Structure 1
Amino acid sequence: MTIQPKNLSDPVVRDFVTAVNQHDRDAFMALLTPDATMADDGTDRDLDDWIDREIFSSNGHMEVDKESDGGHALLARYRNDTWGEMRTRWRFDVDDNGRIRRFETGQA
């Protein structure tokens, strides 16, 4: 059963999923620390390149099936125009100011 973004536990993760699904790059970037990092399938990636390619230029969309670790870990069906749909895991490291300093994703 899908968890609607508005029902996700952590407000920053909730806003992250909403920004992805609404293709709102400005809202997405506002959630990240200036020095934010990310990894895909265990490999660190260039953040700007990755989000443009995997989310914003390819119509990325997340449907969350499960959350854990206080909302900082998600199991989701992620799809975009490049890869189609796949089952993915997401983990978020949120700082004390409520901004994401790192996120990791990969196939689940």
Structure 2
Amino acid sequence: MTTSISDPVVEKFVAAVNAGDETAFTAVLTEDATMSDDGSERDLAAWTEKEIFSPKANGRMKVVDASDDGRTLVVDYTNDTWGTMRTRWVFTVTGDRISRFETGQAPA
């Protein structure tokens, strides 16, 4: 069972990832969106292609917990490269789009 996400913008992000819909994913981000993975800044386009959207990745998010009005998630993130891992995602929402997200291993 997945946890409900109360922020509609974050909900669109998760839905786009799970649908493998790169167009919807891009539409929910600001043009200058940034991201980090395990505390390191990453090139958003290169990272998302490698970790989410390439046929070898096929990324999926199963939300385990949502807090901070739906802008902080604990997710069982699965892709075909790394398998399933518990991750934490923190989103900065600007208007009706995401301007930044940070992801990494969730604390045990």
Equivalence map 1:12-27=2 (5 Å): 12-27=9-24
How far, CA to CA, are the matches of 1:12 and 1:87 in structure 2? 22
Percentage of identical aligned residues:
61
Shift of 1:2: 2.4
How far, CA to CA, are the matches of 2:2 and 2:86 in structure 1? 13
How far, CA to CA, are the matches of 1:44 and 1:55 in structure 2? 17
1:99 aligns with 2:97: yes
Shift of 1:70: 0.4
Q: Which runs of 4+ in 1 moved over 2 A?
A: none
How far, CA to CA, are the matches of 1:99 and 1:21 in structure 2? 18
- Deviation string, structure 1 residues 84-107 (Cα, Å, up to 9, x no partner): 000000000001x21100000001
How far, CA to CA, are the matches of 1:76 and 1:48 in structure 2? 21
SS at match of 1:70: coil
Question: What root-mean-square deviation, in Å, do the aligned CA atoms of Structure 1 and Structure 2 show?
Answer: 0.8
How far, CA to CA, are the matches of 1:36 and 1:104 in structure 2? 11
How far, CA to CA, are the matches of 1:2 and 1:10 in structure 2? 15
Structure 2: gaps of 5 or more residues = none
Structure 1: gaps of 5 or more residues = none
Taking structure 2 as the reference length, the TM-score comes to: 0.94
Please identify which structure carries the higher helix content.
1
Name 1:87's counterpart in structure 2.
86
